[in-house]
Structures are given as structure tokens and as C-alpha cells.
Amino acid sequence: MAARSKVTVIGAGNVGATTAQRIAEAGLADVVLVDIVDGMPQGKALDLAEAAPVVGHDARVVGTNDYADTAGSDVIVVTSGIPRKPGMSRDDLIATNAGIVRTVVGASAAVSPDAIIIVVTNPLDVMCHVAMTASGFPRERVIGMAGVLDSARFRTFIAQELGVSVEDTHAFVLGGHGDTMVPLPRYSTVAGVPITELMSADRVAALCERTANGGAEVVALLKTGSAFYAPAASTFEMVDAILRDRKRVLPCAVLLEGEFRTRGLFVGVPAVLGRGGMERVFEIELSPEEQAAFDKSAGAVRELVEKL
């Protein structure tokens, strides 16, 4: 039998700890939880390990402040950084989080040179650029988590609106992970039927708007931090697709090399995820209006990258 896979989760805060819990409790991989705060990742890891007999899994969970313990990881999930407070945009986090992401990716990539990095820290698309530079990894092994979350939010609102199971809804949200993100109603379906045939144009527009503000809606309610259950579930789905080589088609932030008429930028697009990481950009046909919205969103990412 092959050994269990190893996943390092950097940042043992809300998103990181919840992601670690999901991975361990699914028995998907052993988890190393890393944080800069002394004792905290060790404490959370111990607590998670002590839940294992009750939950019934054999994954090992350890906490550490030392990157030596992360060596040989198959996947590195980066959640370290500061989250948003009410009134802040994701972009307000840029300088602080760029410094943090550069440091932690440099340290972890050095001891896991074959790992696949999943970036969660915001502003997402820009942090992907930072992670790619800091690791020196090829684009196949640096992937941003945003589209799965944004699409999950869209699916939630569609299911609530139509009174149907979330399981039968499908949605694509592309572009940058910010206010200019691009929900695609034409490719968002219930049991295969586009939502544009199931609700009025006004309602479609309202759900798209709520999706684009989905993160801010949670921040405004929590007041002390940002969303973490849905982000952790979305990150888990990507890790699962990679480690089990599932070839899932999931919207992710990917370095585009000409696809969707964009080059040299991390932007959210559908991608095939498997053991090789981002194995293929899954190109879909965009209408002129959709492409224009995508270009605008990519432009917003480019501005931030240049700011950095």
C-alpha cells in the first residue's frame, strides 16, 4: 500500500483549521498545520487528532511552527494572512499579505519541491502571482481557490430562489475574485437547464450581484473576520480532485498563457484538476458581452499586480 498523501496547511486560523479538519476527517491525507503563532497550530492539531477516534479516521494531524515538518508534502494550502474587516475590500490586504505569502511559500516550497500549491489568501489573484514567483513552480502547480467558492455561493442563491436541491444546480463564476467577478448565467443550470430560462432577467441580475458581494455580505455580519466554512469546503474539493486524480472541471485562478485572450495573468477560469495539478484550461465559448466583462475583470487584476 502506498503511504497516505501529505498536505501542509499554512495558517491555522479559521480557513486553515477548517480545511485541515475536512481533509483529516475525510481520511484524504495526513495534515501538517503551520502557523507563526507559537502553540496554536500544535493545540488545534492535537484537538483534531483527539476527534479522530470519535469520527473514525486514521489521518495524522500535527501542528508546528517549523517548515522542516512540512517536507515532502504533496499539496501546500496557503491561508496565512490577515482577513477582511467590515468596510475593507480584499485589495486592502495586499501589502501585508504579499509579504506573508512570499515568506511562507518560499519556506515551504524549498522543502517540498514537487508540491502543488493552492492559494487561498486574498487578494487571491495577486497572491497567486506572489506564490508563483516565490516558489519558482510551473503554472500547473500554482492554483488559486476562488471560483469554486464564488460558484458555490451562486449555486446556493439559485437553489434558494427556485426551491430546488443545490445538488442539481451548477454554476460558473469566472474572472478575478473581486467586485468585477463574472458570473455566467448562460452556463449556470438547474438539471441542465440554463437559469436564464427559469427566472426573469431581473432575478438573474440580482443573484449575480449578490454572488459578487457574497464575501462582503458575510464580513458585514461577522464583523470580526471573513467567511471560512464555504472557503474551507471549496479548498477541500480542490485538494480532493488533485490527490484522487479526479480530473474535476472546477473554476480556479490559473496563470493564463493566451487562453480566454489573456496572457501572463492569474484569472479565474474552468480548469481540469488532477494529480498533475492544473492539467488543462477548459476553454468555453464566451459571448462578446461575457468576454468584455472577463476582460474588465482581468484588467482589475492587472492593475493590482502592477501596484505590487
Q: Which residues are catalytic?
A: 177
In terms of Cβ atoms closer than 10 Å to its own Cβ (0-12, 13-18, 19+), residue 31 is buried
User: Minimum CB separation from ligand APR for residue 269, in Å?
Assistant: 20
**Beta carbons within 10 angstroms of residue 159's beta carbon:** 17
Q: Which of 165, 163, 144 is nearest to 251 (CA)?
A: 144
Stretch that binds ligand APR, among 11-19, 159-167, 203-211, 295-303 (CB under 6 A): 11-19
Residue 13 makes contact with ligand APR by CB under 6 A: yes
What are the respective helix, strand and coil percentages of the chain, to the nearest 5?
50, 20, 30
Decide if residue 10 touches ligand APR (CB under 6 A).
Answer: yes
CB of 125 to ligand APR, least distance (A): 12
Binding window for ligand APR (CB under 6 A); candidates: 69-77, 201-209, 220-228, 277-285: 220-228
User: Are 195 and 155 a contacting pair, CB within 8 Å?
Assistant: no
Taking CB under 6 A as the rule, which mask of x and - marks residues 65-94 in contact with ligand APR?
--------------xxx-xx--------x-
d(CA 153, CA 131) in angstroms, rounded, equals 26
CA 308 to chain centre: 21
CB neighbour class for 20 (10 Å; exposed up to 12, middle 13-18, buried from 19): buried
CB of 143 to ligand APR, least distance (A): 15
Closest distance to ligand APR from the beta carbon of 121 (Å): 4
Summarize as ranges the residues that interact with ligand APR (CB under 6 A).
Answer: 10-16, 35-37, 79-81, 83-84, 93, 97, 100, 103-104, 120-122, 225-226, 228, 231
